[in-house]
Amino acid sequence: MKTNVLIAGGGIIGSAVAWALTARGVSNVVVVDLDLTGLYASSELNAGGARATWWQPVNVETCAATLEFFREHADSFSFRERGYLWLHGDSALFELAKKKRELQNDFGLGVEVLSPSDVVERFPALDPDPARLVGATFSPRDGLVNPNAVRQWYRREAESLGARFLNRHYVTGVSTARQPGSKRRVSWVEVTEIAGRDPTDQEGTIRDILTTHVVPPDRTKAQERIECDVVVNCLGAWSPVFSAKIGVSDVTEPTRRQICMVSVQHEDTQRVRELLSLGMVVDPSNLYFHPEGNDILAGYSIPEEAPGFDFNYDGEAFFMEQIWPRLAQCSSIFERCKHMRGWSGLYAVTPDRSGIAGPIDGFTNLFEAHSFTGRGVMQSYGIAMALAEWIDLGSPSRAIAALTRNRFSDPNKWLVEDLHI
């Protein structure tokens, strides 16, 4: 098989890039992915928040463009413009947050600064301890979205324009050839098709491959070499596995993030209704939560969590030790609540907690878009449009030029995001 563009990874970024390329008229775009249902995809397992209130211009710009895209398709994506309420307990961080408002509001975000008393008056469902709170910001243009619906839309539209998505295909090899000068070119990518699901397997094969990066011989169905004019690495937390096949050192670390669903059981029905009308709330402890139907979705990133490909959920213990105490500090409504279920997914974390996008130095036809450290959904449209332009026209895209991996060679060029949760 020969293709104009091969995209490794059919998550939300890979699907968005495929759509953006085909929308520009690029033909013969092929996406390969081990599991297009997204059972372990980071974009399927996240909290569904969508915000542009970041501190680096490139992140604000690409997220703001994506939010506008979500608004245009609000019904299709279940986008709810309910805002982000960020509660600050650190004076220095709060002062910096206030300074960043000018940048954010240049993109029409309308970010407001609130005092502790403003928070209680405006959001009566919350009653945080004043001693824990120095102030807050509220960004009304941010909101909540259904990541699955967004990813499916990108894929459906890309397929309608001619893109092909190959399910249960895993990249097992990459061949490169030396070009005149010092650069290399990817000649072909070898993909192995995994045998169809065994009903007794419960997707154990998929999980094993994703965590060990080894394809069991008895699961191999077929192998194929795909000749490529352009290759794009959109493998998220698994991007280092692909990079290693071509001798590129990757700075990305996969890190587990856990989320749980909580049932609110407080007798004050009015306050519960007010709670369920909120958008995303971020507590000074870095707990985050938002309404999900009649329940609450809550997550917390354990600071000492070691990197690795871990999908285990710690269950009731995670809720009792990490979630419930922090929820109770944010609102007395959570004095009575119940753990329902939960799951874990992976963040692809970079040293500065900003994503990587653009061409890879030393290659003539290799691009990447991955490691957005939890904001792949939020940046998907903005990143995809800019990268597709770069690939199609062959000239740098101003919108994402700062995101190339070259910046990691100079700490002064890092794009540090302190509002990372």
pLDDT at residue 130 in the model: 84
Q: Which of 127, 192, 157, 132 is nearest to 15 (CA)?
A: 157
* Sign of the dihedral through C-alpha 150, 154, 155, 160: positive
Q: What pTM does this model have?
A: 0.96
User: What helix, strand, coil percent values describe the chain, rounded to 5?
Assistant: 35, 30, 35
CATH superfamily, with its number, for domain 2-45+148-251+352-413: FAD/NAD(P)-binding domain (3.50.50.60)
Q: How confident is the model at residue 279 (pLDDT cuts 50, 70, 90)?
A: very high
Encode pLDDT of 175-218 as tens digits.
999 988 889 999 999 999 998 766 556 578 899 999 999 998 88
Sequence spans of domains, the chain: 2-45+148-251+352-413, 83-142+254-349
pLDDT at residue 198 in the model: 61
pLDDT at residue 201 in the model: 60
Ordered alpha helix ranges (H), 238-353: 239-244, 269-275, 316-318, 324-330
Query: Do strands 356-359 and 366-370 pair parallel, antiparallel, or not at all (unpaired)?
Result: antiparallel
What is the mean predicted confidence (pLDDT) over 71-86?
A: 97
What is the total residue count of the chain?
Answer: 421
What is the mean predicted confidence (pLDDT) over 347-357?
A: 96
Average per-residue pLDDT for the chain: 94
Could you say which DSSP state residue 91 is in? Answer: H
Q: Which of 254, 257, 354, 347 is nearest to 302 (CA)?
A: 257
Q: Which two tokens stand for residue 74?
A: 């609000």
Q: At what angle do helices 147-160 and 376-393 cross, to 10 degrees?
A: 20
Encode pLDDT of 234-249 as tens digits.
999 999 999 999 999 9
Tell me if 2-45+148-251+352-413 shares its fold with 83-142+254-349.
Answer: no
Letter string b/e over residues 294-308, b meaning 16 or more CB atoms within 10 A of that residue's CB: ebbbbbbbeeeeeee
Could you say which DSSP state residue 323 is in? Answer: I
CATH superfamily, with its number, for domain 83-142+254-349: D-Amino Acid Oxidase, subunit A, domain 2 (3.30.9.10)
Angle, CA of 383, 385 and 387, to the nearest 5°: 65
Encode pLDDT of 23-58 as tens digits.
999 999 999 999 999 889 998 888 999 999 999 999
pLDDT at residue 182 in the model: 86
Distance (Å, whole) CA 36 – CA 203: 13
- Greatest CA separation for the chain: 73
pLDDT at residue 202 in the model: 58
